[in-house]
Amino acid sequence: MQLNKDITLDYALYGLKSNNKRECMRDIARFICKHNTTLNEIDLFDQLLDQERQATSGIGRGIAIPHIRVNDLKRPINIIAHLEHGANFDSADGEDVKIIWVTLSPRSDGTRHLMRLAKISRMLSDPALSGHLTKARSLDELRAILLNVDDDMRKAA
């Protein structure tokens, strides 16, 4: 799903049953590697967890944006996951995370990775959008919310 010229959502998961940050990262790494056989699941999981140890990806309002640069990646990968139950990501607001947007970028992307991340963060920081995403009741509804993000927000993202 193309959100704007810089950001494509490659995968959407709904009803992820992970109960904590570690399980979330394991399940998302497993899913990504199942669809991208050039990536190693254990390495990806370790990188995601290492990044979380350095700084939480929880931005508040039930949203987390884990992001890493990966050596053997040819193009960016974005995945959104809706959790069945919230998980503690040590967000500043103390709220459990229900939506995880993972951004993987090629190691060579450098500043493009940061620009992509800033756009995603601006988009997901919108209180109305984050509220709709966390309350989505199905995968179709989750996708529809993202497809209906207004044009101004798409351009800002």
Residue tagged 């979380």 (tokens): 52
pTM for this structure? 0.92
Instruction: Give residue 65's pLDDT.
Output: 97
pLDDT along the chain (157 residues), means of 10: 76 94 96 93 96 95 96 92 95 95 94 91 92 95 84 51
Instruction: Give residue 100's pLDDT.
Output: 97
**Superfamily name with CATH number, domain 11-156:** Mannitol-specific EII; Chain A (3.40.930.10)
Instruction: Give residue 152's pLDDT.
Output: 47
Instruction: Give residue 155's pLDDT.
Output: 52
C-beta separation of 16 from 24 below 8 A: yes
Which of 101, 98, 157, 93 shows the shortest CA–CA distance to 131?
A: 98
DSSP conformation letters of 27-89: HHHHHHHHH-TTS-HHHHHHHHHHHHHHS--EEETTEE--EEEETT-SS-EEEEEEEEEEE--
